[in-house]
Amino acid sequence: MKSLLNIQRLQKKIGQHLLLDIDQLHIEAGSAYVLTGANGSGKSTLLRVLAGLMPADIAEANFSGNAVRLSPYPKAMRDAIVYVHQHPVLFSTNLFHNIAYGLLARGVSKAEVARRVDEAMAWAGIAHLRSSKPAVLSGGEKQRVALARAKVLSPRLLLLDEPTANLDGRAKEQVIGLIPSLLDAGNSIVIACHDRDLIAVPGMQRMKLRDGHLQLKTPSTPS
């Protein structure tokens, strides 16, 4: 597998507390990882550092074969990495414009935006909600909107923070069901979670945070 992101010696302090002290973090292209750890272990913080939303001390980083610095956060990574919050923030406009927002901000033509958004809504199973406002959506529908909004940007690395938290059984199944197709499209994915069903998805590699350190476990395999 080709390396997508490699970081040497990542440290993150919260006040005087050293929350993250990671010797090496390696993410391969087209691979999926679940990031586990106790509450407060730094899972969300690590995802936000990787997305450029929080600063950290990093000795060395390499993205897609090129040496990079994460401060200031490089445009190549900003264009290629998308972070999806546990509680997605949706605009008060309809779903189509929520999903189209990132593409429009990047200057994509309206015709191409319409095509990509229609494809993403069909993929996420929310095409029938095209004109709906976020206020009427369930938690599972909001999460699928957030995933569609991320997918249209064609990220090379997708960072998902507890995507199935607080979802009921059917809604959780629908969200988990979208993960394999993201991998088939060549995306790399890191999912911070406690969800045993996500952890058990075949092919997932497991990264665990414990006492600030990152441990890599072997991939899950089909039973």
Q: Specify the CATH number for the domain of residue 194.
A: 3.40.50.300
Q: Is 88 helix (H, G, I), strand (E, B) or coil?
A: coil
pLDDT tens-digit series, residues 183-218: 888 889 999 998 888 888 888 899 999 999 999 875
Nearest C-alpha neighbor of 214 from the set 92, 37, 54, 1: 37
The residue range of the domain holding 188 is 29-54+74-217
Give 219's pLDDT tier (boundaries 50, 70, 90): low
- Residue 150 covered by a domain: yes
How many domains are contained in the chain?
A: 1
Domain presence at residue 223: no
- 200 domain-assigned: yes
Taking all residues of the chain, what is their mean pLDDT, rounded to a whole number?
A: 92
List 188's β-bridge partners, or say none. Answer: 157
Query: Could you read off the pLDDT of 38-71 as tens digits, one per residue?
Result: 999 999 999 999 999 999 999 999 999 999 999 8
Q: Is 133 within a domain?
A: yes
pTM of the model: 0.92
222: confidence class by pLDDT, cuts 50, 70, 90 = very low
- Dump pLDDT digits (tens) for 172-185: 999 999 988 888 88
Contact 192, 35 (CB under 8 A): yes
pLDDT one-digit tens code per residue, 96-120:
999 999 999 999 999 999 999 999 9
